[in-house]
Amino acid sequence: MITFNNYNEATKQINWNTLPDVLKRTHTQLMPDAQAGAYAGDTDVKRVVDSYISKLNAALAKQEPVKDEIIETIKEVFPGVPKLVERISDEIALINRYINFHGKNKSRDQVYSLLKAIQKAILEKRVNKTSQYGKEVMQMQDSLLAILKHDVKSYDITIDAKNLKKYKSIVTSVAPMSSIQLLKRYVSLQNKAAIVDKATRLRDAIHKNMNASDKYYSYLVIAGRNLNSYIEISKTDKNETLRPFSDVELKGLGFVVPIISAVAASATGAAVHALTTHHLKKKKNGLGSVAEPNPDKPTTGVMSIDDIHNSEFKTIGLTGDLLALIGDACKPTSIMFSGKGGSGKSTEAYRLAEFCNCKGDKVLVVAAEEYNTPTLQNLLVRLKLNINKNTFHWVKDINQVNPADYDWIMLDSKDSCGFTHSDQFEAFKQKYHKQSFILTSKATKDGRFKGDGGWQNVVDTLVNCEATQEGLFAEAGGEKNRWGGKGRIKIK
């Protein structure tokens, strides 16, 4: 029998990983303070410790379910102990992102990205004047806006000590339930094949964290059973997929639908148009409303089925090899050709630019490296472009002209034009949201486009170009093509 007096000796052999999280946290967070004198000097602490030890003995002797209510009692005495929640609120998630800026040097794009996330949450009413931490979110927004008034490339971020302490106490006041995290992992794997290692790790984690008092215990049992089945069948059938929750199970598992939605939103989040920079109007009584939208600015909203059926789109009208390669693309769009030197990426990019110019579109080529060089001259002589000299222009620097004066902007290459990170291009594309873009990209040793993985999200089509013994080839559809093309064509 464990008592307060023999606690250290009696608990030496306990495998805490086999016990509920609430007991593990109490052991590590409460007992050191209690043994340091709080137990003898505070009747509330003594009451909580005695209750904890009683439940610990019951769990060890009989595996009696341990109530999560103990965490609430502990919280009354030790406010630093987090409350277990099914979902971390959007407000707290934004505050957590903000305090992670403290003491660090952040680029303008990084600061702007957080500001957009805050404004998007307000627009979508996930944060409002009645929110628990609405005041803090507004403070953060104002701080970020003040930072961005200084037109520099990066900022040394420092949050004053008083606000930093307040924000940290908010973030540490909650913690996600382990069962929720495990079920989210399960949802992300369901219907997938060739995930035996991940499935095995998840199954073991579920078994280790099983707690009969958890409100989602029965669904952890279902997930564990399905994982076991998948692992066994995969030994003989490599195409086996992890079984999803059934409709009946979903009806009983009320939180799973939001989880699935969150997973889907996470996967497609990069495709959502970001908000343009603007200051939200303040009201005396809270966050206030957003300035009236500009009809010339990109926006998101709710569409009915009639709206979708009646929508009109501008197709480029591609034909021949370009149609097979890219698909029936609509404007505005962004298409990137990548490849090593001599792979034909610039040739194919110019072919697309030539086609669009012949359709009456005005084209601007930003040739940062080759502008006014023999290399560019020789390329154009070889290509023999059939273009309108009045509507097809070259510049060395994008800042020399107004990009809004053109229908298509070709960046040859994105790397030499200064777009080294996908966030930079995303911001530029949002600024000139009516324009379409053709990009060429240098390639790494393994043939993939140079740069971060975000490029795959900010363009609609990726075209890989390569030089082989049979000639130069361009191929699309393998990694990303919104327009459906899956062709492989020979570059002429």
Residue 264 has pLDDT above 50, yes or no: no
| 101 — pLDDT class (breaks 50, 70, 90) | very high
| Per-residue confidence (pLDDT) for residue 283, from 0 to 100 | 34
Mean pLDDT over 84-103 rounds to 88
Taking all residues of the chain, what is their mean pLDDT, rounded to a whole number? 78
Between 486 and 308, the more confident residue is 486
| Per-residue confidence (pLDDT) for residue 122, from 0 to 100 | 85
Burial of 354 (0-12, 13-18, 19+ CB in 10 A): middle
Residue 273 has pLDDT above 60, yes or no: no
CATH, domain range 315-490: 3.40.50.300
Using alpha carbons, select from 347, 345, 360 the residue that is nearest to residue 450.
345
Between 486 and 385, the more confident residue is 385
Q: Other CB atoms closer than 10 Å to residue 376's CB: what's the count?
A: 17
Is the distance from CB of 491 to CB of 472 less than 8 angstroms?
yes
* Alpha carbons 451 and 29: distance in angstroms, whole number: 44
Contacts for 475 with CB less than 8 Å, ≥ 6 apart: 325, 463, 464, 465, 466, 487, 488, 489
Give the position of tokens 């075209």.
463
| Per-residue confidence (pLDDT) for residue 80, from 0 to 100 | 58
Cα atoms in the Cβ-side hemisphere of radius 13 Å centred on 108? 9
Q: Other CB atoms closer than 10 Å to residue 434's CB: what's the count?
A: 11
> CA distances (Å), 84 to each of 219, 231, 350, in order?
18, 31, 57
pLDDT in tens, 144-180: 988 888 888 888 889 989 999 999 888 888 887 888 8
Which neighbouring-strand residues pair with 464? 338, 475
Structure tokens at 403: 């990009």
Mean pLDDT over 175-196 rounds to 86
| 478 — pLDDT class (breaks 50, 70, 90) | low
Between 235 and 262, the more confident residue is 235
Is the distance from CB of 90 to CB of 126 less than 8 angstroms?
yes
Residue 204 has pLDDT above 70, yes or no: yes
Three-state DSSP at 441 gives: strand
| Per-residue confidence (pLDDT) for residue 278, from 0 to 100 | 31
Residues of the chain with CATH 3.40.50.300: 315-490
Q: pTM of the full predicted structure?
A: 0.42
Structure tokens at 380: 């154009």
> CA distances (Å), 101 to each of 90, 174, 372, 426, in order?
17, 20, 43, 22
Between 134 and 477, the more confident residue is 134
